[in-house]
Structures are given as structure tokens and as C-alpha cells.
């Protein structure tokens, strides 16, 4: 997931990354900011100025456009690379490097970057201290990784990934330097500027990745593409937020920042461990070729997360923070945001899950068909992750950091033995099934309990999910019925997809007033968002 800072977003991210879900250490949070797809909610109830909703909606539109355009570009680049240049082994090497990078990025600034968006007052007072802390911790992490790269690569079952690790993780240092300028852009909802910056990142990283890949550089092409793109993004952030790249030090501020940030950094590392431990398990137990298939399948399962959820999370964290002091507004905002996200992602998850084989073969070619076996289970996981990520944003915003650490720690501790056992027994399919078992059977109930303690009832969550889940079930039945009757040729797939989407739209129509933020009132509709 992209964050509101420089990350390893490259042309190869779509086909190669397994660490799609990045906890929102900097995805906005704090007074003066608002939500993306709904958490701004009832402006008559929430203690927010009238102009705030317009500001948030504008930011959400830019964020959604940005996400869709960048992901489509990454998707097209991934198809080119998978079909004509790189095979499963190269994806496996890249997947390992990306996994290590994302884990380091989750805590490379010790969580202090969030203060730029979260804390009240003039952020320029403490921004120099934030930048100094972030730069120091990032450099220390990179030096440690550079030294340990051969050992890490060997333990993960791919010794040749050592060089790729050393190059790609230069992005850790770039990310640390970007904390403050990117944080100011997030604080001001400057998503239009972010789109320009991300476009520059994408164009340069894609050009370098493709050039090096066709020259035979293999997985190393992703690494240098990431570095070049992130250098450009860092420069863009500094130009868009002038005067913010300034170092300084205040011991009292530093202590306060660390007290604030370290719990969030710990929760982020645990969350990244949850979505990346499978890569380590597959790489160490089944080899880099099987890992390449798993990386592709996991990446496809993340398409809905990237396109819809990421666009929302760039500003939703900030919106929940604004509503944290108004329990009723927070509950309304969360349930509506969840409804919008689930409604938008269920049809994508159903299509990719039920038609996994034909879609993988059509898009990437028959050599990638083994990836389709794990994809249906990973699509279920992708849908669960969307809800958990939104719950994560909400719990951080209302100050339940201990609950987050406990949830993420429990998730990781339960997941590791399940994935190891399932991976050895059933390969990549077993790993995918183990993910779903732990997420659905253990983590979702714990998140629901934590949300209920924060004032968000199970009834409101059920209301948000009921119609989309009904529509998803109808979609699956329509697809299976039509596939048996007309096959899975290209025209048939188009017809099946169209019919399934129409059936879904019919099923979710009763929830349109809720999703738009209106409710019946005396025969009329009153705006609530």
C-alpha cells in the first residue's frame, strides 16, 4: 500500500510485491484533517467546520484518481514484464527484497512522522526534530541491513537476493528523509500535489525498470527502478512543501515524539509481519519458483486493496482523528466508510476469486496458472484485510494503541505456526488457506471486540456489510452457473463478468441512501455527510 511518504513504489510493485498492506504510520491522523470515503460523516453532528467536508471530498477525489491511474500503469507494466521478460524465479527474488524493505519501512522513522499530521499547533516547531530522528533511524537500519543482507537472503531461501536487498533498501533512507515534507502534504490534504509527485515517481521508475529488465538485469531492475523513482519523489515532496527539509534537535521534543511514535511503530512492524511472514515461509519451504507464483497471486489479491482502500486511507485516518471526541459521529462515519469500501471491493474480489484460472491465464499467460490455485483464498483474505485496515485506522485515531499492539501480536503469533504447517502440507494453497483461517477465525472477532469498546456497535458494522455480502453471494452463483453453460473463452468471460456485475448492482441498490450519506426523514432525505 502506498503511504503518505516515499516508498518502494516502482513499476515492479504490482507484479512483485507481497507486502501490499502497509499500516498507516503516516496516512494522515490528527486534528485539522478528515476522512476519505465517509468518516467525515454527519457535519451536523460532528464538531467540524462546514468547509471541512468539501476539503475532504476534494482530497478523496484526487486520491482515488491518483491510486487508480498509478495502479493501472503498474498493472500494465507488470503484464509486460511477466509475459516477455521475467519468470517466477525473478519474481521470487524480488518478492523477498520487497518483503524486507516493507518491514523496515514500517518502523524506519520510529513512528514519529505521524506527529506532523496528528499533533495540534504549528508543526514547523517540531518538524526539524522529527526529520533528525527519522533520518538517523533510517540510516542505522540501512547500515544494519547492508551488513546482514547475505545472511537474511540465505535464511529466506534465496542467496542471490543479497545484492537486490542492498540496493532496494536505499529506499529506507529516502523514506526517512521524506517524512516531514510528505507529512505536511498529508496534513493539508494536498492530494493533487501528491498525484503529480507519484506520477513522476511512476514514470521514472517504470522507465528504468523496463530498460534494465530488457537488458537482462532480472530482479535488480526493480531495485534500481525503485531507487530512481523514490529520489524523484523525495525531490518532488520538498518542492511541494518548501522549507520543510530542515534538520534540528530539541531533546524535550524528541522524548515526547518517541513516547508518541514507538507504540505505533511497534504495531506497524507487527502488522507488516502479518502480511509478509507468508513470503518468508513460502521462500524457505518451497523455493523461489513457488514463491514467484505465490507473489503473483498475493499481488492480484491486493488489487482491490490498492485501488479502493489505499485511496481512502490516505485521508481516512485523519478523519477518524477529527471525530474521535464525538462517539456518535465516529460510529456513523466508520460504518459508512466501511460500507463504501466493502461495496466497492466485493465485486472485484468475487470476479478474481471465482474466475481465478481464466483471468490469470488471460492476463499473464499459461506459465503462471499455478498461481491461480491460491488466488481464491487470497481474495477472501484481501477482503478481510480491507476491513481490518480501516479498523486499524479508527483504533489508532481514538487512542487504542495497546489494543492494536495486542491484536497484531496475537495475529502474528497465531499465523506463523499455522502457515509453516500448512505450507509444508499443501504448498502455496495451504499457506493461503492458513491465512484465511487465522484472519477470519481469530483476528476479525478480536477487531470487532476492540471496535465495540470504542463505541462502534456490531449492528452498525453488520448493516454496512449485509447488502454487499448478499450481492457477492449472488454474483458467485451467477458466475458459476454461466461458466458451466457458456465456457470461459474471452467473449464468454466478458459476458459472465457483465451479467455478474449487473446482478450485484441490483442487490446493493437498497443501500444506496446509506452509502451516499442520506437517510429517510419524514418522506425526504437529509444529508448526513
Residue 186: alpha-carbon gap to chain centroid: 16
pLDDT at site 231: 93
The average confidence (pLDDT) of the chain is 76
Strand spans (E) along 324-421: none
pLDDT of residue 113: 65
Per-position DSSP letters for 88-154, written without gaps between them: HHHHHHHHHHHHHHHHHHTTTTTTGGGHHHHS-S-GGGTHHHHHHHHHHHHHHHHHHHHHHHHHHHH
Burial class (CB in 10 A: 0-12, 13-18, 19+), 18: buried
Angstrom CA distances, 354 to 148, 349, 509, stand at: 42, 8, 23
Q: Is 186 left (phi over 0), alpha (psi -120 to 50) or beta?
A: alpha
What is the structure's pLDDT at 208? 92
Sequence-distant (≥ 6) Cβ neighbours of residue 402 within 8 angstroms: 263
Least Cα distance to 432 among 309, 272, 296 occurs for 296
Report the pLDDT value the prediction gives residue 85, as an integer from 0 to 100: 76
Which residue pairs from 72-76 have beta carbons closer than 8 angstroms and sit at least 24 positions apart in sequence?
73/11, 73/202, 73/206, 74/11, 74/13, 74/14, 74/15, 74/202, 74/206, 75/14, 75/303
**CB-based burial of residue 448 (10 Å sphere; 0-12 exposed, 13-18 middle, 19+ buried)?**
middle
DSSP 306: I
Strands 518-521 and 524-527: antiparallel
pLDDT in tens, 466-509: 999 999 999 999 999 998 888 878 888 899 999 999 999 999 99
Cell of 343: 461495496
Q: Residue 20: its pLDDT value, please? A: 29
How many percent of the chain have pLDDT more than 70?
Answer: 74
The crossing angle, in degrees rounded to 10, of helices 220-240 and 191-214 is 160
What cell does 377 get? 483464498
pLDDT score at 109: 63
What 8-state DSSP symbol labels residue 510?
A: G
Q: How far is CA 237 from the centre of its chain?
A: 21
Q: Cβ distance 93 to 163 under 8 Å?
A: no
pLDDT in single tens digits along all 529 residues of the chain: 333 333 333 333 333 333 323 322 223 323 233 333 333 333 333 444 445 555 555 555 665 666 667 667 777 777 787 777 777 777 777 777 777 777 777 666 666 666 676 666 677 778 888 888 888 888 888 888 888 888 888 877 777 788 888 888 888 889 888 888 887 777 776 667 777 888 888 889 889 989 998 888 888 888 898 899 889 989 998 888 888 888 888 888 788 777 777 777 776 777 777 777 887 788 777 777 888 888 888 888 877 766 666 655 555 555 565 565 666 777 777 888 888 888 888 998 999 999 999 999 888 888 889 999 999 999 999 888 888 888 877 777 776 767 777 887 888 889 999 999 998 888 899 999 999 999 999 989 988 888 888 788 888 898 888 999 999 999 999 999 998 888 878 888 899 999 999 999 999 998 887 777 655 433 444 444 3
Residue 524 pairs in a beta bridge with 521
> In this predicted structure, what is the pLDDT of residue 322?
59
Start-to-end C-alpha separation, the chain: 26
Cα of 419 vs its chain's centroid, Å: 21
Distance between CA atoms of residues 163 and 490, nearest Å:
41
Q: Which three cell numbers stand for residue 297?
A: 497471486
Q: What integer pLDDT is reported at residue 19 of this predicted model?
A: 31
Q: What pLDDT is stored for residue 430 in this prediction?
A: 93
Give the three cell numbers for residue 287: 523455493
Helix (H, G, I), strand (E, B) or coil at 455: coil
**Distance in angstroms (rounded) separating the CA atoms of residues 258 and 276:** 26
Amino acid at each position: 500500500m502506498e503511504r503518505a511518504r516515499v516508498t518502494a513504489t516502482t513499476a515492479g510493485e504490482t507484479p512483485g510485491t507481497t507486502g501490499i498492506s502497509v499500516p498507516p504510520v503516516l496516512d494522515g491522523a490528527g486534528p485539522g484533517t478528515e476522512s476519505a470515503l465517509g468518516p467525515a460523516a454527519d457535519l451536523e453532528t460532528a464538531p467540524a467546520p462546514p468547509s471541512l467536508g468539501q476539503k475532504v471530498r476534494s482530497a478523496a477525489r484526487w486520491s482515488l484518481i491518483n491510486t487508480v491511474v498509478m495502479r493501472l500503469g503498474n498493472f500494465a507494466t507488470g503484464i509486460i514484464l511477466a509475459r516477455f521478460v521475467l519468470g517466477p524465479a525473478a519474481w521470487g527474488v524480488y518478492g523477498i527484497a520487497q518483503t524486507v524493505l516493507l518491514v523496515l519501512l514500517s518502523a524506519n522513522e520510529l513512528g514519529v512522522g505521524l506527529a506532523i499530521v496528528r499533533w495540534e499547533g504549528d508543526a514547523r516547531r517540531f518538524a526539524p526534530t522529527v526529520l533528525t530522528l527519522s533520518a538517523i533511524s533510517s540510516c542505522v537500519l540501512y547500515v544494519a541491513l547492508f551488513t546482514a543482507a547475505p545472511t537474511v537472503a540465505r535464511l529466506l531461501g534465496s542467496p542471490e537476493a543479497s545484492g537486490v536487498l542492498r540496493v532496494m533498501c536505499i529506499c529506507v533512507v529516502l523514506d526517512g528523509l521524506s517524512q516531514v515534507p510528505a507529512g505536511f502534504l498529508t496534513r493539508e490534504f494536498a492530494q493533487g500535489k501528491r498525484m503529480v509527485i507519484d506520477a513522476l515517481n511512476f514514470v521514472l521508475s517504470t522507465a528504468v525498470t523496463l530498460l534494465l529488465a530488457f537488458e537482462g538485469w532480472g530482479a535488480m531492475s526493480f531495485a534500481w527502478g525503485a531507487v530512481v523513482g523514490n529520489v524523484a519523489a523525495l525531490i518532488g515532496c520538498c518542492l511541494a512543501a518548501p522549507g520543510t527539509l530542515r534538520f534540528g534537535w530539541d531533546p524535550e521534543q524528541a522524548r515526547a515524539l518517541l513516547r508518541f511514535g514507538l507504540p505505533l511503530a511497534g504495531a506497524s512492524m507487527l502488522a507488516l509481519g502479518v502480511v509478509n511472514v507468508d513470503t518468508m515461509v513460502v521462500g524457505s519451504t518451497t523455493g523461489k519458483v513457488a514463491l514467484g507464483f505465490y507473489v503473483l497471486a498475493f499481488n492480484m489479491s491486493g488489487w482491490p486493496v490498492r485501488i479502493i482502500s489505499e485511496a481512502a486511507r490516505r485521508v481516512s485516518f485523519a478523519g477518524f482523528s477529527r471525530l474521535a471526541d464525538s462517539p456518535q459521529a465516529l460510529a456513523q462515519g466508520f460504518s459508512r466508510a466501511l460500507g463504501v469500501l466493502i461495496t466497492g471491493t466485493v465485486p472485484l474480489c468475487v470476479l478474481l476469486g471465482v474466475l481465478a484460472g481464466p483471468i490469470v491465464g488471460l492476463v499473464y499467460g499459461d506459465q503462471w496458472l499455478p498461481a491461480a490455485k491460491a488466488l481464491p483464498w487470497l481474495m477472501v483474505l484481501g477482503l478481510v484485510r480491507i476491513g481490518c485496515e480501516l479498523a486499524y485506522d479508527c483504533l489508532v485515531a481514538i487512542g487504542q494503541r495497546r489494543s492494536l499492539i495486542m491484536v497484531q501480536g496475537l495475529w502474528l503469533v497465531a499465523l506463523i505456526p499455522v502457515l509453516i504447517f500448512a505450507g509444508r502440507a499443501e504448498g502455496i494453497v495451504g499457506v493461503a488457506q492458513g491465512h484465511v483461517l487465522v484472519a477470519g477465525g481469530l483476528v476479525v472477532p478480536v477487531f470487532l471486540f476492540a471496535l465495540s469498546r470504542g463505541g462502534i456497535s456490531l449492528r452498525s458494522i453488520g448493516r454496512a456489510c449485509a447488502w454487499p455480502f448478499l450481492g457477492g453471494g449472488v454474483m458467485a452463483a451467477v458466475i458459476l452457473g454461466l461458466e458451466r453453460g457458456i465456457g470461459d473463452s474471452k467473449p464468454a468471460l466478458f459476458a459472465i463478468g457483465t451479467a455478474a456485475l449487473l446482478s450485484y448492482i441490483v442487490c446493493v441498490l437498497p443501500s444506496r441512501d446509506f452509502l451516499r450519506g442520506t437517510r429517510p426523514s419524514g418522506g425526504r432525505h437529509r444529508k448526513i455527510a
